[in-house]
Amino acid sequence: SAVISQKPSRDICQRGTSLTIQCQVDSQVTMMFWYRQQPGQSLTLIATANQGSEATYESGFVIDKFPISRPNLTFSTLTVSNMSPEDSSIYLCSVVGQTYGYTFGSGTRLTVV
Amino acid sequence: EDQVTQSPEALRLQEGESSSLNCSYTVSGLRGLFWYRQDPGKGPEFLFTLYSAGEEKEKERLKATLTKKESFLHITAPKPEDSATYLCAVTHSGYALNFGKGTSLLVTP
């Protein structure tokens, strides 16, 4: 399976600010996804990161709030913009490759104060 | 719309006490059912993928089975290190996963 490096692993941020989370994969992958896991809840898909084009967002998530970039086949970023305490969650990067299934990064634990 | 329901929400077992976790699903055109293990502060760790009814897969003390409406994760003679949250997910599109809320398992010595 792929090895995913997700940074930062955790952060505490002031409301109204933005945080960019990075996801680096050790090999080229077919698809990259960003998920959110709110406290005590399961994982919810935010968007599919498309290489070289705009991300595909799920219902309830918008580009202005969660801009995503994917400049190549091994790297993506998720920005959480204009944060409020409701954005406190774990954010997870996930990838799918041609020879392996869905693999997840270790996550970014975000606390907004 | 895909729906995934896991039960029980929490389960406490004595070491060696076998049990099963349930994942019932509603999806149009199942392309795969996945089981993951998640430890606190970590991302989900892949366990199994099942594709068709009747399929079974095993790994150490874990065995996953699939019917047309549900999947079971059987845990045989669990150990304390099996304590974790077990997540079930499905996909109908072949790419994005739709997760259940998970079963939190605690195995005591």
Q: In this structure, what are the phi and psi dihedrals at residue B54, rounded to the nearest 5 degrees?
A: 95, -10
Nearest to A101 among B46, B87, B102 (CB): B46
Q: In this structure, what are the phi and psi dihedrals at residue A55, rounded to the nearest 5 degrees?
A: -65, 155
Candidates 2.40.50.180, 2.60.40.10, 3.40.630.10, 2.30.42.10; CATH matching B3-108: 2.60.40.10
Place of tokens 């090895």: A3
Return contacts of A65-72, CB within 8 angstroms, 24+ apart. Answer: A66/A34, A68/A34, A70/A32
Tell me the mean pLDDT in the region A72-82: 96
What residue segments make up the domains of chain B, in order of their start? 3-108
| pLDDT tens readout for residues B24-35 | 999 888 889 999
| pLDDT tens readout for residues A11-46 | 999 999 999 999 999 988 888 999 999 988 889 999
What domains can be seen in chain A, in order of their start residue? 4-9+20-103 (2.60.40.10)
Chain A nearest C-alpha distance from B102 (Å): 7
Nearest to B95 among A31, A42, A92 (CB): A31
- The band of A71, judged by pLDDT with boundaries at 50, 70 and 90, is very high
**SS3 of residue A12 by DSSP:** strand
What type of residue sits at position B25?
Answer: Y
Q: Note whether B44 contacts A: Cβ–Cβ < 8 A.
A: yes
| Lowest mean pLDDT, pick from A70-74, A95-99, A109-113 | A95-99
Q: Across the A/B interface, how many CB contacts are shorter than 8 Å? A: 48
Chain B residue with the nearest C-alpha to that of A93: B43
What is the Cα–Cα distance from A68 to A54, expressed in whole angstroms?
8
Structure tokens at A58: 């799920």
Q: Do B99 and A105 touch (CB under 8 A)?
A: no
Chain A residue with the nearest C-alpha to that of B103: A42
